[in-house]
Chains A and B, each alone.
Chain A
Amino acid sequence: MVTLVAACTGEEPEPPDSPSTALRVATVHGDGLDERARARFESEVSDVVARYVEAGFLGGYPRDDFVQGFEDFTSGAAEQAVGDLEVLTAARFENASSVRATDLGAALSFYVVDGEALGATAWIDFAFDVDDGESTTTAALDGRLVLERRNERWSVFAYDVRRDDSDALPVEATTP
């Protein structure tokens, strides 16, 4: 079930007032779409991205069902994504007490033919707090998810992302 709230702003994503799980979505390229169509496609793509974040990162911990994050991926993309599970989801924190989104932004570029969006790139910029019961660290994911729309349904067919868990993996080195 999708519990994330997608907030469409229409322009560049704005910083949230406070840490929250609201997904902020903005269309940065949508030439050829009228206002109504833009709002509709923005909302549809937002739902896909929100489902990915919810199933891939959030939910109740500990958990091990991270592949559910690829439900809206094409079969070929999902197959490859399973091999990249630790980058594309919070699988490496499966034993955490909780993972909470602190920043969820997505900028959308639409591929528009005859007034209809047939494809879109979602430029994502996500940050999470990971609580292991003793301390809280952060993890981040940015890059792009590329989607196509066939038979009124949006699917992710490509991804190119960068994961930064710098703060989530502290290591102590003690001088002799």
Chain B
Amino acid sequence: MSHALRALRTALQLLPIALVLVVLVPGSAVQPTTLTLTKVTTAEGYDAGSDVVWVLVLGEDSVHDTDAIQLLGIDARTGAAAGIGIPRDSWVDLGGGEMGKINQAYGEDADAERVSEVVRELVGITADYVLATAGDGFVSMVDALGGVTVVSSQAFVTDDRNMQVDKGPNEFTGDEALDFAMTRDAFPDVPGDFVRSENHQALLLGLLKQLQRQDGDRGFVELMALSALEGLDTDASPVDLYRLLNVLTGVDPDQVEGCIVVGREDVDARGNQIIVPDDELAERLGREAAADATFESGCEPR
């Protein structure tokens, strides 16, 4: 840009402020008043490694079933983030035509490649990284953050600790956050997995905000990266994990959207409850979010 053009642009930017100052400064025409403007600007930028980085977040139970499955996309250029929640009972092809619940894809072998492939088949997005955490690791990470504030969409009592959760904001320790995340029987009127997946997204948003509250403290992000390294089972390298955590500090919470791959309730051959996922919805959510981590058409099935 030429100097003249820049000068003109700067002058136009400053003109309204100068006019306000002229109006507000009382006095006579005897003495000119010279004022100095405060010109403060900010800039932030994050290189996530790709336009949208996709992270598959898994929460394991004690027998290695992944009862929390969230595919998160972050567009570091815009600060937008999208979460696609996949209910644990979703009935899918686990590979080679073997049908089963999606929460069994990861398994005792911690098969990140397999679960990533199953998710790709469902939503059409290949995760760049898989992050899995079990109870203790999750609790220690939340506690390292200093707890978490979670906005619940409804009031309920948790399954394990009979903890009262209020509709609206709730302050949780690591143990309480885990109890909140695991509860599914408290929602008799809707398939429990759908509400639970929604709760997982609310929890992740709370953790994001908690991280951002403290990312201005020197050394905090480095400590959290170490805590994540200890608490997570992941295919991300330690450097990738550090980069990812820093990229999260740049996400705009107002640009975070979460959708759930809902489906039809059914039972398998053994009579176990399953969810037959809405494949069309899953495909659309993945397709829309792939480019910029937003859901152009919303979360509802057509």
A-side binding surface: helix, strand, loop or mixed? strand
Quick check: A171 and B37 within 8 Å, CB to CB?
yes
Q: Which residue of B has the minimal Cβ distance to A148? A: B239
Segment from A14-22, A53-61, A116-124, A128-136 that makes contact with B:
A116-124
- Beta-carbon contacts under 8 Å, B256-270 to A: none
Q: Which residue of B has the minimal Cβ distance to A81? A: B45
Quick check: B219 and A109 within 8 Å, CB to CB?
yes
CB proximity of A124 to chain B, nearest CB, Å: 12
| B188 at interface, CB cutoff 8 A | no
| A40 at interface, CB cutoff 8 A | no
> Quick one: which of B33, B36, B225, B249 contacts A166, CB cutoff 8 A?
B36
| B242 at interface, CB cutoff 8 A | yes
> Quick one: which of A75, A77, A166 contacts B38, CB cutoff 8 A?
A166
Interface residues in A, total, Cβ within 8 A: 53
Quick check: B238 and A118 within 8 Å, CB to CB?
yes
CB proximity of B20 to chain A, nearest CB, Å: 9
A92 to B239, CA, bound (A): 35
Quick check: A175 and B218 within 8 Å, CB to CB?
no
Chain A contacts of B43 at CB under 8 A?
A: 84, 87-88, 159-161, 163
Interface 0/1 of B17-50, CB less than 8 Å to A: 1100110011111011111111111111111110
| B229 at interface, CB cutoff 8 A | yes
CB proximity of B297 to chain A, nearest CB, Å: 28
| B6 at interface, CB cutoff 8 A | yes
A176 to B29, CA, bound (A): 5
Quick check: B42 and A163 within 8 Å, CB to CB?
yes
> Quick one: which of A74, A111, A123 contacts B226, CB cutoff 8 A?
A111
Quick check: B40 and A166 within 8 Å, CB to CB?
yes
Quick check: A173 and B33 within 8 Å, CB to CB?
yes
| B73 at interface, CB cutoff 8 A | no
**How extensive is the interface on chain B, given as a class?**
35 or more
Quick check: A158 and B40 within 8 Å, CB to CB?
no
> Quick one: which of B3, B77, B222 contacts A110, CB cutoff 8 A?
B222
Quick check: A175 and B25 within 8 Å, CB to CB?
yes
Quick check: A173 and B226 within 8 Å, CB to CB?
no
Quick check: A118 and B239 within 8 Å, CB to CB?
yes
Quick check: B218 and A121 within 8 Å, CB to CB?
yes
A115 to B32, CA, bound (A): 63
CB proximity of B198 to chain A, nearest CB, Å: 31
| B221 at interface, CB cutoff 8 A | yes
| B125 at interface, CB cutoff 8 A | no
CB proximity of B292 to chain A, nearest CB, Å: 15
Known contacts A158-B246, A169-B36; 15 additional CB pairs below 8 A are: A109-B221, A110-B222, A111-B225, A112-B222, A118-B239, A119-B239, A150-B239, A157-B46, A159-B44, A162-B42, A163-B40, A163-B43, A164-B40, A175-B22, A176-B29
18 A-B pairs with CB atoms under 8 Å apart are A81-B45, A94-B3, A109-B219, A111-B226, A119-B242, A121-B218, A143-B42, A148-B242, A158-B247, A162-B40, A163-B43, A166-B39, A171-B36, A174-B22, A174-B32, A175-B22, A175-B28, A175-B32
